[in-house]
Chain A
Amino acid sequence: MTANLKSGLREVAIIGYAQSPQVRQERVLNEVEMLMPEINKALAEAGLTMDEIDFVCSGSCDYIAGGAFSFVGAVDALGATPCKMESHVEMDAAWALYEAWIKIQAGEIKTALIYGFGKSSVGELPDVLSQQLDPYYLAPLWPDSISLAALQASLLLQSGRYNERDFANVVVDSRRKAKANNNAQLAGDVNAADLLAAPYIASPLRRHDCCPITDGASVLIISEKSAIPNAALAANGVRPVMIRGMDHRMEVHQLGLRTLDDSLSTKQAFAQVGSQSGIAVGQYDFAELYAPFSPQTLILKDALGLGDKVDINPSGGPLAGHIMMSAGLDRFGMSYRAMQSGSANTALCHATSGPCLQHNLIAALEAC
């Protein structure tokens, strides 16, 4: 039996991951060239060949590449024939993972390769994202993503729960942890007092409160339990990490209709994952949260009820490197990486989409 008795879910494991360096600007390689080495690395780690992958699913955004069908060229990275069962979401690749996970739950496939990529450096990302807003009432005003996150941060300040020093401390923590992450773009020892001396770019946000513009690509490989290549993984020293539950929820788009200093959809998804996985909040060793702006880390931490015992973003998180369209998938990859040493066994993964945390995905991971 492959079903987890508690939830009826098929057991699915992450068995490979690779991520390109999260650079400020990749001047030479195009998207496919960034992606291909990572596909090969992830396959090698999982001990699989492309022909053994049942399904491929990716996440990317045309408006980041600046042209329609940005995902089409990336198919080149998969090889030609035999042809792939392949799909794509115009969302963060965490949702491509969700699509693949659903396909495994449906019994259609056993193995899947998921990738996401983006070169945010070629455009003006905050302005590009303003065109994600309601095209009649919001987008014509070009409210950029940083300004909207600043509005959200202001509401969080007004709630009295946090102050700007708390925002800065999130950044201090991120940069310090990122020192151990070779792919991080921003890492090092900084202190809150120095950060608070920096000017605002959109009050109350300072430059360091925002995730860095990043170019990169990442690849994750999953397998249904019965198809896990155990011998190859053992030879590669890979510890499979099971996905015990996954859910995502959408909120209202209009910012004025949302409780911006909370994340209701995160709570909904987390409750669902709790019932799927049977893992209680206190049991998580760490959490990888896709919070592109420092105050959002605090909003998510509160919404999830994560106490101070749960380590948040041991990879440094999106503030240390943020591949737009893959940063959510990277939370899974980074969690899987962190569990390889055996020092942690349970992780909570989060991904987000839309302005000001409109849409949130939660998953529970547990190492075997």
Chain B
Amino acid sequence: MSNNHVAITGIGQTERYRTKLTCSLAGLVREAALNALADANCSWDDIDALIIGKAPDMFEGVVMPESYLAEALGGVNKPVLRVHTAGSVGGSTAIVAANHIKSGLFKRVLTVAFEKQSESNAHWALSPSMPFRPHFNSGAGGMFAPVIREYMRRSGAPDDIGCQVAVKDRKHALRNPHAHLHLPDIDLDTVKNSPMLWEPTRFLESCPSSDGACAMVLTCEALADSGSHKPAWVHAMAMRSEPSFYPWREEVNPHASRECAKDLYAQAGIKNPRKELDMAEVYVPFSWFEPIWLESLGFAEEGQGWKLTQDGSTSLDENGDIPWNCSGGVLSSNPIGASGMIRFAEAALQVRGMAEQRQVDGAKKALGHAYGGHSQFFAMWIVGAEKP
């Protein structure tokens, strides 16, 4: 049974990951799910199980919302599971869903990840005063700023690499109708002149607060050809976690990130990810995480990742050899709980040849990546156009 291959036959996203004040939570997730079902050419009745993922419930103020959302997602009378692994959740939810297929117990499952940040304030939700713990009122940007400063110190990268990432990803976003931010006039000066939020991270080097959902239909091998379009195939998937703090913790290049990537590449038989992959959708919520993850994920030697950003290797507009975040990435849309699944789904769209204006020509193998917490929870998959 462990040889069961998993196919992605349907992908659906909400029309645009922007603030949606007039849409209910149920309406939000249902839109993405219906789009995925249409792509997979199947109906609610064809779905055997529903796997929901989202980040902290405090982002919308609904406790364990799968109870309320199951009906809108056709989950009644079916197994419904709710995954929560911090920012990596969109990725780990897809992996949990894929394991349902791989188990042989399910033939076709629907997986949906979402966040509606306009319902609450993420900075507040991430910074409560907890009993027995020091109050850590920093939000995500403040938490990662020291990590970024340490990366800059170690690598000696020029100060404006982060700004270059911000411009590159926002230009990619102009190719993606789903992206929250469409900033047609963005350039290096605009980013450099935007307000400094958490030194060295500027406003335009940060992800937006977005609303949206992403859904995928996963099927067993026998049903893979039933979709409207050609499927993507799961070649490898991996998850790793580590505690927030311990004496030998490596925050810039976390142990869990390296071990997760190593496991992933071993499964996929990949020795040189830059050469063997055609593109990557990687969780970059603050600009400097592009060079940080380029190194941690083995696309560049330690200390050299920023050079790939600088020379345009990761840019679709500059015909780079390894485009990163053709969708515009997390920097252009961040419905937090969905962001990991969007990365996983965008990688799948690329190898299906369905990424439209943001398509990498002839993409056959792509990486989807998500991370969360204090750079401590990782979920990754590699998808391919061909069966593994």
Contacts and interface: CB of A to CB of B under 8 A. Distances in A.
Interface of A: 3, 8-10, 30, 56, 61-63, 65-69, 71-73, 75-76, 78-91, 95, 98-99, 102-103, 105-108, 122, 128-129, 131-136, 139, 247-254, 265, 268, 353-355, 358-359
B77 A265 contact: yes
19 contacts: A8-B104, A30-B131, A67-B130, A72-B244, A72-B373, A75-B241, A75-B376, A82-B255, A84-B242, A86-B377, A88-B84, A91-B64, A99-B99, A105-B1, A132-B64, A249-B79, A250-B76, A251-B77, A358-B67
- By DSSP majority rule, is chain B's interface helix, strand, loop, or mixed? loop
Given A66-B130, A68-B128, A103 B99 contact: yes
Interface string B58-102: 111111111110110001111111111110000010001001101
B56 interface: yes
A109 to B, nearest CB: 10
A80 B246 contact: yes
A79 B240 CA distance: 13
Contacts of B105: 9, 102, 105
Given A102-B105, A103-B99, A353 B67 contact: yes
Interface residues of B, number: 69
Given A81-B242, A89-B82, A252-B71, A102 B64 contact: no
B156 interface: no
Contacts of B50: 250
Contacts of A3: 1
Contacts of B241: 56, 75, 78, 83-86
Interface string B248-259: 110000011001
Interface in B93-117: 96, 99-100, 102-105
Contacts of A95: 81-82
A268 B77 contact: yes
B24 interface: yes
Contacts of B70: 250, 252-253, 359
A90 B244 contact: no
A111 to B, nearest CB: 15
Given A76-B244, A89-B81, A129-B63, 17 more contacts: A68-B56, A68-B128, A75-B243, A78-B241, A80-B246, A81-B242, A81-B255, A82-B259, A83-B240, A84-B240, A95-B81, A98-B81, A132-B62, A134-B68, A250-B76, A250-B79, A250-B80
A10 B24 contact: no
Nearest to A30: B132
A65 B377 CA distance: 20
A142 B388 CA distance: 51
Nearest to B378: A83
A122 B2 CA distance: 44
A248 to B, nearest CB: 5
A136 B99 contact: no
Contact of B58 (A9, A62, A354, A358): A62
Interface in B1-17: 1-4
B102 A85 contact: no
Nearest to A325: B64
B239 interface: yes
Given A80-B248, A107-B102, A250 B78 contact: yes
Nearest to B239: A85
A88 B96 CA distance: 10
Given A30-B131, A80-B246, A105-B104, A253 B99 contact: no
B57 interface: yes
A133 B26 CA distance: 13
A251 B68 CA distance: 10
Contact of A133 (B68, B80, B84, B86): B68
Nearest to B83: A89
Nearest to A76: B243
Closest 8 pairs between A and B when the two form their complex, measured CB to CB? A107-B2, A105-B103, A68-B56, A106-B102, A86-B241, A354-B67, A67-B128, A90-B84
Contacts of A91: 64, 66, 81-82
Contacts of A62: 56-58
Contact of A135 (B61, B78, B125, B244): B61
Nearest to A264: B77
A106 B135 CA distance: 41
A235 B56 CA distance: 43
Nearest to B59: A68
Contacts of A353: 64, 67
Interface in B128-155: 128-133
A136 B65 CA distance: 12
A68 B1 contact: no
A8 B1 contact: yes
Nearest to B100: A102
B126 interface: yes
Contacts of A247: 79
B161 interface: no
B351 interface: no
Contacts of B131: 30, 66, 122
B83 A88 contact: yes
A131 B239 contact: no
A87 B83 contact: yes
B52 to A, nearest CB: 9
A87 B239 contact: yes
Nearest to B62: A135
